[in-house]
Structure 1
Amino acid sequence: MTPAARVQSAIEVLDLVIASVRREGASADRIAAEWFRTHRFVGSKDRRAIRDLVWQAIRTCGEVPMSGRAAMLALAAADPALAALFDGSGYGPAAIVPDEPVAVAGLAPAWLEAQLAASDITAEQGVGLLGRAPLDLRANRLKTTRDALLAQLPVTAETTQAPDALRLPGGTPVETWPAFAEGLFEVQDTGSQLACRALAVQPGEAVVDLCAGGGGKTLALAAALDGRGQLLACDIDRARLSRLPQRAARAGALAEIRLLDPGRELVALADWAGKADAVMVDAPCSGTGTWRRGPEARWRLTAQALARYARMQADVLRIGGELVRPGGRLTYVVCSLLDAEGPDVIAAFLAANLQWRAAEQDVGAGTPRGAGLRLTPWDDATDGFFFATLQRL
């Protein structure tokens, strides 16, 4: 393909992504994969170039663009070489005409930028939210150590703030390596690893991962238990939870897995009421801290959805609190940088539950925010997180 044809192909993919966002359809990743599946003549180098253009455009446009062409023109406005490819030749895009629509560059839709500003996210921190994410591994202590894993990786890696973490370039095909099949590591962002560390799980304890999902944090908690104690992983999402047994078997992790019914969680968890030493509440959230991995998510979030998340977060925090024994602890985690989903949720819980207090957290990274810590890509080179550890008196 010519460079101009790559630009036109990126415009076609962007049109599909924009249409999907407006109808709350499939993700940009899925749309791009399907487009490439139906355009098998596109070579690997062309695929990479097209994907790069698509994701650059998504990262550039704060509001949902009116069209793929408008989004690409926003890129071209700052790149004369790209603008020159709009020449109408061959399979390339039509020449640029005066006053045609050009998408506006920005961090996010205006209402969401206001929410971030109200949560004291600076312009520099906002830039970090839209960068390219690395790929972090967690050495599985049940089978190896970070140093031993580092010595056998086929590529160079660097360490991060988390004691078991190694960092590689994004896109490294780690799941094809023998060490992955052997369960020597899991893919897990350093920020997520630090959130697990905040719970300070010790061998022999009774631990609950209340919103286990696919089990990333569950496996980290299992490694901290070192095969001693009890670990319950539960969720209301059957599809996500169904991936955990295979992952746990590969990692050599021991955990009871329990599917919960929405609205009846405490009924199913009656045997754990007031008995857990430690509870992880990885609450559903807007994911504003993970835009590096899925930047079009900021086009999909609405104020109404944010309000729904806040209600769910308060509810799941309440449920988690019911499971903790006196003297036990709970860590609340969201991969969001909005105060409405982090500090505000914790402040409301503490105000309504005087038998709880905020506990000390020292994980080697993060900035105090309310009763917890905030991690950002700009400040900590992690995904964006808020987490707070609470102790029941």
Structure 2
Amino acid sequence: MTPQARTQAAIELLDAIIAAARDQGAAADTLIARYFAERRYAGSKDRRAVRELVYRAIRLLGARPASGRAAMLALAADDAELRRHFGAEGHAPAAIEAGEEAAVAGVAPAWLVKRLAASGLDKAAQTALLDRAPLDIRVNALRGKVAAVLAELPGAVPIEGLAHGLRLPPDSRVEDHPGWAQGAFEVQDAGSQHVALGCGAAPGMTVVDLCAGAGGKTLALAAAMANAGRIIASDTDRGRLGRLAPRAVRAGVTIAEPRLLDPGREAAALDDLTGGADLVLVDAPCSGTGTWRRNPEARWRLTPDRLARLVEVQARLLDLAATLVRPGGAVIHVVCSVLDAEGADQADAFLARHEGWRAERPDMAVGDARGTGLRLSPNAHSTDGFFVARLIAP
């Protein structure tokens, strides 16, 4: 592909990503993979160059742009070489017309910038939400040794505060490494690793991972428990939960019990656990504002109404979790969000609804106090953004 053809391809992909963000469709990575699966003529350098253009544009633009062309024009405003691609010969974007408007650069839509500021994030902290993320891995204590994995992965360095955490440069690929296939390590952001340790899971406990998804934190909890005890990994998404079983086999985890829940009827499926769990992790559906480093187009998907619905779901799941915990047990409220509505305010609202419950600071190596919990952020801790609160039953 010529450079101008790559620019046109990026515009076409951005059009698809913008439409998917508007309609809650497939993620950008999925759309990019589909695009090139249908265009076998594009080589690896072409795919890499187009992908880089697409994500440069996404990171630049806070609000969802009108079109892929408007997005690329915004990127070209400070890139003379990119501007020359417009109107060039061959499969190139049409020439830039006089007065043609480009999209506007920014961190996020205006309403969301206000929410971020109200949640205590200054401009530097907001901008850091869009930095490129490194690749973090968790060495699986059930299968691997940190020293051995360090020796086998060039460029890996230990992560401060995480005995089993290692960091590699952005865009590193480890899934084809023998150690990954053997279960010696899992890809997991440092923030997720800190949160999993902050749960305080120990051997012999009965733990419920209420929103387990594909099981990333389930596997981390199992390692912390030395594979002794019981973890009920539940979720309403059959596809995501179905990925846990093969991951558990690879990781050598035998104490995880997947349990598919019926949306809206979760309590019935968990009735046998009422009042019996030592620990319930509620890694609830959230806005994902803390994961923009990896999914920057998520800013284009979020609306005030969607945020309000997510807050309602989180509250309902926390109330369900409270019924599952034994006296003196703990509910861990976790969101990969930096917004107070989903974090500190949500924890305060739970305590107001549940008499006798109290908050206890999670035992974590990093995190800034926010309300009754801790908040992690890219700017302050070089992790994805998280809020975590430890809520203790009477």
Q: Scaled by the length of structure 2, what TM-score is found? A: 0.96
Alpha-carbon separation, structure 1, partners of 2:21 and 2:392: 41
Structure-2 residue corresponding to 1:158: 157
Alpha-carbon separation, structure 1, partners of 2:331 and 2:270: 16
Structure-2 residue corresponding to 1:180: 180
Structure-2 residue corresponding to 1:266: 267
Structure-2 residue corresponding to 1:392: 393
Structure-2 residue corresponding to 1:208: 208
Amino acid at match of 2:278: D
Structure-1 residue corresponding to 2:288: 287
Alpha-carbon separation, structure 2, partners of 1:15 and 1:227: 47
Structure-1 residue corresponding to 2:36: 36
Matched position secondary structure for 1:296: helix
**Match runs of 1:8-87 below 5 Å:** 8-87=8-87
**Match runs of 1:342-353 below 5 Å:** 342-353=343-354
1:195-242 CA distances to partner (integer Å, 9 max, x unpaired)? 111111111111111111100000011111112222211111111111
Matched position secondary structure for 1:330: strand
Alpha-carbon separation, structure 1, partners of 2:348 and 2:168: 37
Amino acid at match of 2:345: D
Structure-2 residue corresponding to 1:246: 246
Shift of the 267–24 alpha-carbon distance from structure 1 to 2, 3 Å rule, reads: closer
1:40-70 CA distances to partner (integer Å, 9 max, x unpaired)? 2111111111110011001111111112111
Please state if 1:313 is matched with 2:314. yes
Structure-2 residue corresponding to 1:378: 379
Amino acid at match of 1:378: N
Alpha-carbon separation, structure 1, partners of 2:155 and 2:297: 31
1:180-205 CA distances to partner (integer Å, 9 max, x unpaired)? 11111111111011111111111111
Deviation at 1:84, TM superposition (A): 2.9
Amino acid at match of 2:326: R
Deviation at 1:87, TM superposition (A): 4.1
1:263-313 CA distances to partner (integer Å, 9 max, x unpaired)? 222222222111111111111111111111111111011111111100100
Alpha-carbon separation, structure 1, partners of 2:21 and 2:364: 37
Alpha-carbon separation, structure 1, partners of 2:334 and 2:105: 31
Deviation at 1:123, TM superposition (A): 0.9
Structure-1 residue corresponding to 2:368: 367
Structure-2 residue corresponding to 1:331: 332
Deviation at 1:88, TM superposition (A): 2.8
Structure-1 residue corresponding to 2:120: 120
Considering only aligned residues, what root-mean-square deviation do their CA atoms show, in Å?
1.4
Q: Which shows bigger deviation, 109-118 or 190-199? A: 109-118
Structure-1 residue corresponding to 2:147: 147
Matched position secondary structure for 2:42: coil
* Identity, % of aligned positions: 55
Amino acid at match of 1:85: H
Deviation at 1:78, TM superposition (A): 1.7
Alpha-carbon separation, structure 1, partners of 2:62 and 2:200: 38
Shift of the 265–15 alpha-carbon distance from structure 1 to 2, 3 Å rule, reads: closer
**Contact 2:362/2:388 (<8 A) preserved:** no
Deviation at 1:171, TM superposition (A): 2.5
Matched position secondary structure for 1:148: helix
Structure 2, unaligned runs of 5 or more? none
Q: Which shows bigger deviation, 99-108 or 164-173? A: 164-173
Amino acid at match of 1:340: A
Q: Scaled by the length of structure 1, what TM-score is found? A: 0.96
Q: Which shows bigger deviation, 206-215 or 15-24? A: 15-24
Structure-2 residue corresponding to 1:275: 276
Amino acid at match of 2:131: G
Runs of 4+ in 1 over 3 A off after TM superposition: none
Amino acid at match of 1:75: L
Q: Which shows bigger deviation, 102-111 or 171-180? A: 171-180
Structure-2 residue corresponding to 1:192: 192
Matched position secondary structure for 2:167: strand
**Contact 2:200/2:363 (<8 A) preserved:** no
Alpha-carbon separation, structure 2, partners of 1:213 and 1:64: 28
Deviation at 1:262, TM superposition (A): 2.0
